Chains A and B, each alone.
Chain A
Amino acid sequence: MKLYYDFHIHSCLSLCAEDDMTPANVAGMASLAQLDTFALTDHQSSKNCPACAFHAGEYGLLFVPGMELCTREEVHVLCLFAETDDALAFTGYVGERLLVHPPAEKRALWRQTIMLPGDVPQGEEPLWLGSAADIGIYETARLVREAGGLAIPAHIDRPSSSLLANLGLYDPGMGFSLCEVTAGCDVKRLLAEHPDVRGLRFIRGSDAHELASIADRRYYLEVEERTPQAVLRALTQT
């Protein structure tokens, strides 16, 4: 069956996302956009995934828990999981490896709100999620696989915070099987400029930081059944 997707969406737990990107609003907007499945991928954390999973269920959408990892090289990598518990365990692993801990007096400069179902604020994330994690790009694919997930280099056509911008080229030794490009990416041109990514498959993501940016029903994936496991299998194999 076909599932229309957007696997790159931020919530109010991400520094740079709008405050109205609450888990309930994100799920509601994904439903309005007529998506079948979506992932919540906040920077360095999956802590808003439990609330988002609840609301996705209410709207009848298939939810995929995730995060957007920022590696030591400041390369952004989507990490999608089949189980929310695995995503949360990986969040703990990443949290222990964050490289920057700004002093307490700077705390007022940002908001990183963790929500309970029903958009009830549970509290503010104490770690600074704007930091890179001390995890190298060459170990990322394996680490995420061992944690029960799938790692996908994010927006590789973007001029900053992407694998190609920060590292210059893709090396198959990094072990990824697919990557994400931005909604507006000209893939033909990307392949012409970067023959090194020819072996990779592509998905599109909105990287939505505001509700209106969540992708419309445009990109789909063929899956065997309507489960996060089947989504991950399809992404790994197709």
Chain B
Amino acid sequence: MTIREMIDRFSLRVEAEGSDGGQTLAGCYIGDLLSRVISRGRPGGVWITIMNNVNVAAVALLADIPCIVLAEGVEPSQELREKCADEGIFLLSSERSAYELAAAFARAQA
């Protein structure tokens, strides 16, 4: 599934437009402790989190994550939106929980 397809299928809000919506997502990781995400996140995958501070963009960049989904209706700071747009990282959001989003992702992969 590509990033663009995931946005459409899961009705995600686009908070910041990334550079390559046609990229196929390589996996999924859920986490809020940034150091865990850096060491365990899936390069090329989607990262689901409730963290919304500007460090999130830096972590995605370090971990080669092209796409972040903010779960549970969490809204990003303007700083995070701008940083993601600058770095070409998709910043998306949803009212659904991290579990629901990841379950939907797994079903779409099946």
Contact = CB atoms under 8 A, between A and B. Distances in A.
Interface of A: 15-16, 73-74, 99-100, 102, 106, 109-110, 130-132, 160-161
A82 to B, nearest CB: 30
Given A73-B33, A132-B35, A109 B53 contact: no
Given A100-B39, A161-B53, A109 B62 contact: yes
Given A74-B35, A100-B38, A100-B39, A130 B55 contact: yes
Q: Give the secondary structure class of B's interface.
A: helix
Interface in B17-48: 33-35, 38-39
A161 B54 CA distance: 12
Contacts of A102: 38, 62
Contacts, number: 32
Contact of A99 (B35, B51, B54): B35
B33 A106 contact: no
A160 B74 CA distance: 13
A73 B58 CA distance: 18
A160 B51 contact: yes
A51 to B, nearest CB: 26
B6 interface: no
What 6 pairs between A and B have smallest CB-CB spacing?
A132-B35, A160-B53, A99-B35, A100-B38, A100-B35, A102-B62
Contacts of B12: none
Contacts of A160: 51-53
B61 interface: yes
